[in-house]
Structure 1
Amino acid sequence: MSEQPVVNRQTFDQVMLPIFSPAEFIPVKGEGSRVWDQQGKEYIDFAGGIAVLALGHCHPSLVAAVREQSEKLWHVSNIFTNEQALKLAQKLTNATFADRAFFVNSGSEANEAAFKLARRYAITKYSPYKTKIIAFKQAFHGRTLFTVSVGGQAKYADGFGPKPADIIHVPFNDLDAVKAVIDENTCAVVLGASTR
């Protein structure tokens, strides 16, 4: 039996694309708001998986639900539906303003869909010219071409050819700058945390 290869933070630099720079330690276990690295050192996870772990790591109810579902059905494409997605959609539409739900895999996809839906609604309901999106400089909304373009950070958006049109960037937290560019062709103002 061959020995497992050693992986550490330097392994990342050797085999991963350098689009971000992770911490020097590698978490290998999590429970609640705590994570442990390869050497067993404990940390508090203040990032919460960048907002996707509201219930913390390995919440017992979620572990049980994932285990139960994994013994039934792992995945179906969008040519089918599934009971769990329909039950969740019912709960969401019953508990919120929404009439329908749309499930995606990531924040990038959710934001991409929101930008496209804002434009589609504005074009259909008002005018084919109502496509302007006002966003803030140095924001982050995902890694698709549309979301990096809305994010307003050249380091993520440049170098891929033409960007989606009609995206205006203003300084973060500057209401006067927003007022100066908003007009009858604005379909959305995108708010989000600044990365500076």
Structure 2
Amino acid sequence: MNIPNDKNKALKATYKRVMVPNYSPTGFIPERAKGSYVWDKNDKHYIDLGGGIAVNCLGHSNPDLLKALSIQSKKIWHVSNYLANESATELAKSLTDLTFADKVFFCNSGSEANEAAIKIARRFHYLKNDSKDEIISFTNSFHGRSLLNITLGGS
């Protein structure tokens, strides 16, 4: 995208020089965002129809999320799955109360979640001593960037 007086030009050139082209980036570089909108350095706004690759469904700069993040960040930022923590336990309890699930496994990404689901399914059937050991997936579909997920999608 060639915008007159494009303030993104130098950054775009640097991006092309130093970044691996994993995705084909848009023609603009976002500078700020609020709700479902993003603005570039030229103050032109766009609708974020991708929701930050689907991980931002509650919108950018959501005031409730900002408040919760601020409160939590002053307590403890991250403890991983190696340690139990109050917030994760409360969320897991809410999810099991509101859904069909008996237990919850938190993941950092869709790739990790897909891999975990496959491992859990395989373990479940292994413990039942049955022969269900095949995974069904869609060919040429996106399941994530890990080797297992790329293989699963056949791409």
Relative to the length of structure 2, the TM-score reads: 0.87
> 2:148 matched to which residue of 1?
146
2:62 maps to 1:59:
yes
- Residue identity in the other structure for 2:57: A
Separation (CA, whole Å) in 2 of partners of 1:134 and 1:79: 31
> 1:106 matched to which residue of 2?
109
| Count of aligned pairs between the two proteins | 147
Separation (CA, whole Å) in 2 of partners of 1:51 and 1:143: 15
Deviations 1:53-75 (A, max 9, x none): 22111111001111111111111
> 1:88 matched to which residue of 2?
91
The 1:7/1:117 distance shift into structure 2, 3 A limit, reads farther
Separation (CA, whole Å) in 2 of partners of 1:43 and 1:52: 18
> 1:132 matched to which residue of 2?
134
Partner of 1:36, secondary structure, is strand
Choose between structure 1 and 2 for higher RCO, CA contacts under 8 A separated by at least 6 residues.
1
> 1:14 matched to which residue of 2?
17
Identity %, equivalent residues = 52
Specify every segment of 5 or more residues in structure 2 that has no aligned partner in the other structure, as ranges. Answer: 1-8
Separation (CA, whole Å) in 2 of partners of 1:77 and 1:118: 23
- TM-superposed CA distance for 1:18, in Å, is 2.0
Separation (CA, whole Å) in 2 of partners of 1:63 and 1:151: 36
- TM-superposed CA distance for 1:7, in Å, is 5.7
Deviations 1:145-172 (A, max 9, x none): 111111111xxxxxxxxxxxxxxxxxxx
- Residue identity in the other structure for 1:56: G
Greater helix share, structure number: 2
The 1:7/1:142 distance shift into structure 2, 3 A limit, reads farther
Relative to the length of structure 1, the TM-score reads: 0.70
- TM-superposed CA distance for 1:80, in Å, is 1.7
Separation (CA, whole Å) in 2 of partners of 1:122 and 1:93: 22
> 2:125 matched to which residue of 1?
122
Separation (CA, whole Å) in 2 of partners of 1:11 and 1:101: 42
Separation (CA, whole Å) in 2 of partners of 1:71 and 1:151: 41
Specify every segment of 5 or more residues in structure 1 that has no aligned partner in the other structure, as ranges. Answer: 1-5, 154-196
- TM-superposed CA distance for 1:126, in Å, is 4.4
Partner of 1:134, secondary structure, is coil
> 1:47 matched to which residue of 2?
50
